[in-house]
Amino acid sequence: MSFEALDLGLVVAAHGRHVVVETPDGERVLCHPRGKKSELVVGDRVRWLPAGDEGVVEHLEARRNLLFRQDEWRTKSFAANLDAVLVLVAGEPMFSESQLTRALIAAGQAGIPCWIGLNKTDLPAAADARARLEPYRRMGVEVVELALKAAPEASRAALAPRLDGRTTLVLGPSGMGKSTLINLLVPQAAAQVGEISQALKAGRHTTTTTSWYWLDEARRGALIDSPGFQEFGLRQIAPTELATLMPDFAAALGECRFHNCSHRHEPGCGVRAALARGEIAPSRYRIYEELFDELSAKRW
């Protein structure tokens, strides 16, 4: 069979072995993949065949990228074919710098540009959050300040040019304001969720489902909302690769005396010299040590 002859569709929701495929004219169809397992994720482009009022996915088109996390027990894919990742953080509750770093590293390994949205800048804790983000600004990560509830129009104006014409995955733990962001930018979000729930034949949409939202009628830009996470494993990354995926560390790698330097105890380490000069923040070095130990632990 020539897959090119089949209808092309976009996966806009995935739940178990069911996926919702959107056709080029905007129709959404419940589809099932061939075989017992499905590795399809939101953002995938697929070729499919109608089967009654549903469909069968016959072929997965090549992905440009895939963002995922991996712990000892399983791999969790977020989405595919992304133009950018927005990590949403806030000072109340205070974000985890370790979780932020892990998301940035995973995006970097996948080759996906990443930026940070600092929400709730109208609250007193914003000053502490800004200070915690200063090392990320210095190493070239864009930080956009937002007050999604207190200043919605200013926040919309700050976000619009960065989201226009792009497919952006919104990442972040619960409590950072992802739902507020979606509702602000996608007034028809409830209707889109309803369509997906109906297509999945689900009684209600839950936050455990990754969702695709179009930002404009022309369907040029899209947001992908993912469930909040408390853990972000990076078992897919070798400990020796870790420093290359941390820009402030990578800038000092050429100064190390030994090519296989772990940046923990070796003499002549360029990374530790950069730390001593204040070019790497102590909090970043602590996170590096935590991750290096985690990734070096014996894998069963």
**What residues form the annotated binding site for GTP?**
119-122, 172-180
Round to whole Å and give the CA distance between 7 and 268. 59
Q: Enumerate the known binding-site residues for Zn(2+).
A: 256, 261, 263, 269
| Structure tokens, 209 | 């489902």
The 3-class secondary structure across 220-238, one letter per residue, is CCEEEECCCCCCCCECCCC
Round to whole Å and give the CA distance between 167 and 88. 16
Q: Enumerate the known binding-site residues.
A: 119-122, 172-180, 256, 261, 263, 269
Is the separation of the CB atoms in 97 and 141 below 8 Å? Answer: no
Query: Given the structure tokens 């979606």, which residue do they identify?
Result: 182
In the sheet with 143-145, reading across from the earlier edge strand, the strands are: 143-145, 114-119, 84-90, 167-171, 222-225, 211-214
